[in-house]
Amino acid sequence: MGVIEDYGTTLLLLAVVFGFFMAWGVGANDVANAMGTSVGAKAVTIKQAIIIAMIFEFAGAYLAGGEVTSTIRKGIIDQQVLQLAPELLIYGMMASLLAAGLWLLIATTFGWPVSTTHSIVGAIVGFASVGISVDAVVWDKVGEIVASWIISPIMAGTLSFLLYMSVRRFIFGSDDPFLAAKRYVPIYIFLVGFVVSMVTLVKGLSHVGLDLSFREALVYAAAIAFVIMIAGIAGMSRIKRVTKSEQLDLVNVERVFGILMIFTACSMAFAHGSNDVANAIGPLAAINGIIEAGGKIGSQSQMPSWILLLGGGGIVSGLALYGYRVIRTIGTHITELTPSSGFAAELAAATTVVLASGSSLPVSTTHTLVGGVLGVGLARGISAINLRVVGTIIVSWVVTLPAGAVLAIAFFYLFKAIFGGG
């Protein structure tokens, strides 16, 4: 226990700095993914994207982020293995935050939309298996997480393909697309509100003292979605048909979908907050819990509100200062996005992410959103997709896991050499 008694405050301060740095990287890279489709489709401006992210990222993190945070904090490493050397877990979590944050900074500089989940999970598995022992890693949980990285983009791509095909069938394929948009878009808005509300009510609110049955959650989610739908209808009522011509009708229809994209941008920000804020605050929460408990691992501890605030603040500042690079890649370089196609990609990705958050699985928001964008691109034909950009993105995904692991191992041994112990 000597290391924690002697250097506890210093270690916690370093962890706070590294946690903020990681949250900054999540904002610069991952929130840009979440907002990229909306900005790329010109449904929101970058300033509006930042405001949406500020509100809904924090709401997602606070209301529905606890499930995933516990997985990052406690689920990947068998903490019993480290009972006699708790400082090693602190070094490892600090190393993971610094390694993942550094890799995100490098990737964002090049405009690569990499996975923050890959970064942090790869870093934790790397330091634990090399720096401690292979037995310290809960491989069953890691297997679940890795499987979700494959399933989530396929699920998001399939959903976005079906959603966009429904838009083409019921709206663009109708005799009067403008009237059809006014008729069907409220249904899509209802879907957005229902999906996000349902997962939040079922899985997300237990830590604030609100436990609802599944049936109660269904009723409340439907009521919330109905209110959101009414707000959407009010927004659409301002869009008037200027003159009836086929070309202008298409412009008017896209303007109606622009209203819808504001709602999907909010849902995507909420979904991202519920899942990916854990990547920054999970390790920090683990370090704080061990230091507060005087070196005891696995003791029950509440998630302090200051950690949530730190994560939210870091994410918003990262998006505001550096997020434009990845926004450009997601929003304009993979395939041409319009509000109607961008909506399908965002709603599919948000649905996939909030369902995963409800299952405590830290999926990759990047993978789901790129899967969603590819889905709408495929709906228009393979020629609509920039395969070269997609290839670069996939390579960056493959590199992310070992990059996070190698950096974390190096930092782990550095901290061990500086502070001792183990």
Is 226 a residue whose pLDDT tops 60? yes
Determine contact, residues 188/260, Cβ cutoff 8 Å.
Answer: yes
Q: How far is CA 38 from CA 15, 31, 62, 265, 285, in A?
A: 34, 12, 23, 6, 32
User: Could you give the angle at which helices 246-292 and 86-109 cross, rounded to 10 degrees?
Assistant: 160
Q: Which residues pair with 77 in a beta bridge?
A: 137
Structure tokens at 301: 């501890």
Residue 380: pLDDT band with limits 50, 70, 90: confident
Write the CB contacts of 215 (distance below 8 Å, at least 6 apart in sequence): none
| Rounded Cα distance, 218 and 64, in Å | 17
How confident is the model over 74-107, as pLDDT tens digits?
567 776 776 777 888 889 889 999 999 999 999 8
On whether the CB atoms of residues 412 and 103 are closer than 8 A, the answer is no
**What is the DSSP code (8-state) at residue 420?**
-
Q: Quick check: pTM over 0.85?
A: no
Q: Please give the average per-residue pLDDT across 376-395, as a whole number.
A: 76
Whether the CB-CB separation of 321 and 28 falls below 8 Å is answered with: yes
pLDDT value at position 71?
A: 60
Out of 207-211, 268-272, 378-382, which region has the weakest mean confidence (pLDDT)?
Answer: 207-211
120 against 273, higher pLDDT = 120
Q: Find the distance separating the first CA and the last CA of the chain, reported in whole Å.
A: 10
CA distance 321 to 28: 7
CA dist 241 → 173, 179, 185, 251, 252 (Å): 18, 9, 16, 10, 7
Is the separation of the CB atoms in 284 and 12 below 8 Å? no
DSSP string of 324-368, one letter each residue:
HHHHHIIIIISS---HHHHHHHHHHHHHHHHHHHHTT----HHHH
Averaged pLDDT, 97-126:
86
